[in-house]
């Protein structure tokens, strides 16, 4: 089955190594090294397209530029390593049960691409469609759930509101009793949601883009963007200057710093979002559990660790240090939902940077500077949107026109007052 038209025998032949159970067994026995998944290149003096940011968005855009549009003279630059920003720091939850029709259509396309991604990229991204439960602890959030369920159904996305008895069947360890401090009144049940291995998605796209001729440059920081007569001319980096007519800014938390270099103002502020993971325990949680009121989401990885995420820190910052206040608050909220976890120990905590917009929807497409495009404002929902954003931005670059699926997310909506209020985002407490 060719779902998205990306699979081809020629592509598979271009990969340095094909991964299979037999290959794993052979290398396990012979201790033969795997070849590197992508190549290191010298920085060329010019590229057709330069993508700033080597996370899932930047790499997906590079991959779809090459795979769907045949544009392969592309450089992806990152100041650190691939996936060192939000792509490796999120809690790897996928879902499309948003509130606005624009948001639902957009994220649903992303889930569709994620569904066949492992086969498209010949890379195991470990997508586990285990279902997604958003809990309602009060009447107003139950009302929002009902609203979301109806918008989802109208857009053909599987979501429904269920009661405490059904919730208990799906997640027996959840405290759904009336005695809880914040009793569970109901939940939005979204079976197509799930979790995925986020590093594998980054590596899979990097490997796929590399096999098609894209240059991936790690440890290459952009220090300036040359603009003349309202057009992008080139990019300056710590490894040399590049002449290019097209620059895509896909740097999430750092996107205003890159946009400033091109003289483009974005309606974005940067705040950290913290997450934590426990020691591994036996599998007991087969769904993703989210509580907007308690600002927590919980899932169990294939290794048995429990991954916890929260909403963004309540102030702007570029600091990626964890804080004690966060971990205390988080532990309290998790125990509120699952008292049985009281003796489980935390392994580590970390933070990623979220580029927040005033309406919790992204900013995508062209800017007042010709050739300078943005794929930013990803807040708390960037990872799940990686494939569709890459696909749409690649189309935007190749055709010079904004595709329909991202038409609502243009930068000009803030000047026109046409905001897309996405109250289904994780950062919004209902």
Contact, 174 vs 289, CB < 8 A? yes
In the 8-state DSSP scheme, what is residue 383? G
* Binding residue for other proteins, selected from 344, 414, 421, 428, defined by CB under 8 A: 414
268: contact with other proteins by CB under 8 A: yes
Residue 311 Cβ vs other proteins, minimum distance, rounded to whole Å: 14
> Under rule CB under 8 A, how many of the chain's residues touch other proteins?
22
* Binding residue for other proteins, selected from 358, 368, 400, 429, defined by CB under 8 A: 358
325: contact with other proteins by CB under 8 A: yes
Question: 326's torsion region: left (phi>0), alpha (psi -120 to 50) or beta?
Answer: alpha
Q: Which is nearer to other proteins, 322 or 403 (CB)?
A: 322
Q: Which is nearer to other proteins, 86 or 131 (CB)?
A: 86
What are 125's two structure tokens? 């991204």
Q: How far is CA 254 from CA 62, 246, 352, 366, in A?
A: 19, 19, 11, 18
Q: Which is nearer to other proteins, 5 or 415 (CB)?
A: 415
324: contact with other proteins by CB under 8 A: yes
The CA-to-CA distance between both ends of the chain, in Å, stands at: 41
270: contact with other proteins by CB under 8 A: yes
371's CB contacts (< 8 A; 6+ apart) are 231, 232, 244, 245, 246, 247
Phi, psi of 48 (to 5 degrees): -70, -40
Q: Which is nearer to other proteins, 331 or 344 (CB)?
A: 331
Q: Which is nearer to other proteins, 79 or 132 (CB)?
A: 79
Residue 49 Cβ vs other proteins, minimum distance, rounded to whole Å: 26
156: contact with other proteins by CB under 8 A: no
Residue 416 Cβ vs other proteins, minimum distance, rounded to whole Å: 9
Contact, 198 vs 93, CB < 8 A? no
CA 226 to the chain's CA centroid: 29
* Binding residue for other proteins, selected from 293, 317, 346, 398, defined by CB under 8 A: 317
257: contact with other proteins by CB under 8 A: yes
Angstrom distance (rounded) from CA 91 to CA 356: 17
Q: List contacts with other proteins (CB under 8 A).
A: 254, 256-257, 265-270, 314-319, 323-325, 358, 414-415, 417
């Amino acid at each position: 089955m060719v779902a998205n038209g990306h699979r081809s025998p020629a592509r598979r032949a271009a990969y340095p190594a094909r991964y299979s159970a037999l290959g794993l067994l052979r290398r396990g026995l012979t201790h033969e090294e795997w070849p590197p998944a992508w190549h290191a290149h010298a920085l060329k003096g010019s590229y057709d397209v330069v993508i700033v940011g080597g996370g899932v968005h930047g790499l997906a855009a590079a991959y779809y530029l090459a795979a769907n549009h045949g544009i392969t003279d592309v450089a992806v630059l990152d100041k650190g390593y691939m996936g060192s920003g939000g792509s490796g720091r999120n809690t790897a939850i996928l879902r499309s049960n948003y509130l606005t029709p624009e948001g639902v259509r957009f994220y649903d396309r992303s889930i569709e691409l994620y569904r066949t991604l492992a086969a498209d990229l010949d890379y195991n991204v470990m997508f586990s469609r285990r279902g997604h439960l958003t809990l309602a602890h009060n009447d107003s959030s139950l009302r929002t759930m009902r609203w979301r369920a109806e918008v989802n159904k109208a857009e053909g996305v599987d979501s429904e509101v269920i009661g405490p008895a059904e919730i208990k069947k799906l997640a027996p360890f959840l405290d759904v009793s009336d005695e809880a401090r914040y009793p569970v009144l109901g939940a939005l049940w979204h079976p197509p949601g799930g979790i995925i291995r986020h590093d594998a998605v980054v590596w899979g796209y990097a490997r796929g883009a590399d096999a098609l001729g894209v240059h991936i440059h790690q440890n290459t920081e952009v220090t300036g963007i040359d603009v003349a007569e309202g057009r992008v001319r080139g990019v300056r980096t710590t490894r040399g200057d590049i002449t290019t007519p097209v620059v895509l800014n896909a740097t999430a938390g750092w996107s205003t710093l890159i946009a400033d270099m091109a003289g483009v103002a974005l309606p974005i502020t940067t705040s950290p979002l913290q997450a934590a993971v426990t020691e591994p325990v036996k599998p007991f949680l087969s769904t993703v559990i989210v509580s907007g009121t308690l600002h927590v989401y919980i899932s169990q990885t294939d290794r048995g660790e429990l991954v916890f995420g929260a909403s963004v820190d309540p102030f702007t910052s570029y600091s990626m240090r964890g804080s004690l206040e966060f971990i205390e608050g988080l532990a309290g909220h998790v125990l509120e939902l699952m008292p049985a976890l009281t003796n489980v120990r935390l392994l580590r905590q970390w933070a990623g940077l979220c580029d927040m917009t005033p309406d919790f929807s992204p900013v995508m497409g062209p800017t007042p500077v010709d050739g300078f495009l943005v794929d930013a404002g990803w807040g708390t929902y960037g990872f799940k949107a990686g494939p569709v954003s890459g696909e749409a931005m690649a189309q935007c670059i190749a055709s010079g026109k904004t595709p329909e699926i991202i038409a609502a997310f243009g930068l000009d909506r803030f000047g026109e007052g046409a905001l897309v209020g996405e109250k289904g985002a994780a950062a919004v407490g209902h």
